[in-house]
Structure 1
Amino acid sequence: MGTLFYGSQGTPIDINDRALSHIKVVIVAKLRRGEAFTLSLQHEGSGGRSTVWLSPAIPLRFAFEESQRPELNAQWIEELAESANLLGGITLVPERLDRE
């Protein structure tokens, strides 16, 4: 399980390593361009959800449990990037394995 540490207090947000590796690509690309946006996540187990505001001015750190970076799924990154450009921001959608 990976962790996204958000804000000056370093609030931890747990996300599995594979998903975190993919959203990291999208988040870093948007922050490099100076763009602010939201990230919406479903809470595993509890059925709840959270949305956080991401901005280049807010401290952010990615921590991964696994030492090796997984092979990235370009289709999933594209889906996440498309959602990042919508009004609702990035929504962590499940990875589809049909790479057509």
Structure 2
Amino acid sequence: MGTIYYGGSATPIDIEDRALAHLKVVIATKLRRGESFTVSWTHPEGHPGGRTTLWLHPSIPLRFTFSDPEPPELSREWLEELANSAHSSGGIVLVPGQVDGGPIEIAAAAD
């Protein structure tokens, strides 16, 4: 299970390592270009109910940590889906498996 530390928040965000590796590539690409966007998810079982949305901006500190020392193999198709959703008005929407380590899927964002 990987972790995102965003801004001054003391609350880490746990995301499955493979999903986080893909997300990191898309986030780094967007932020390198100076583009802001959102990432949203529904809270996984065992956590307080609800959902979270982060507004990602190049000026806000961001750190990724991974439990596995070796980077996973990346899927070009998944990277393209995440990048396309990051460009949409709905931003990236992670599905429960991406946050809690279950099956990996991508949610289509509405434009």
Under TM normalisation by the shorter chain, which class is it?
0.7 to 0.9
Contact 1:80 1:92 in 2 (8 A): no
2:29 aligns to what? Answer: 29
Residue by residue over 1:79-99, the C-alpha shift from the partner in whole angstroms, topping out at 9 and shown as x without a partner, is 110000000111125437xxx
Residue by residue over 1:32-73, the C-alpha shift from the partner in whole angstroms, topping out at 9 and shown as x without a partner, is 000111111222115532101100010000000000000001
Give the whole-Å Cα distance in 2 for the aligned partners of 1:68 and 1:61.
Answer: 17
Contact 1:41 1:51 in 2 (8 A): yes
Give the paired residue count.
96
Give the whole-Å Cα distance in 2 for the aligned partners of 1:36 and 1:11.
Answer: 21
Structure 2 stretches of 5 or more lacking a match? Answer: 96-103, 107-111
2:90 aligns to what? Answer: 88
* Runs of 4+ off more than 4 Å: none
Structure 1 vs Structure 2: percent identity of aligned residues? Answer: 60
Give the whole-Å Cα distance in 2 for the aligned partners of 1:41 and 1:18.
Answer: 16
RMSD: 1.6
SS in 1 for 2:13: strand
TM-score, structure 2 as length reference = 0.79
1:11 aligns to what? Answer: 11
Give the whole-Å Cα distance in 2 for the aligned partners of 1:16 and 1:43.
Answer: 13
TM-score, structure 1 as length reference = 0.87
Give the whole-Å Cα distance in 2 for the aligned partners of 1:10 and 1:71.
Answer: 30
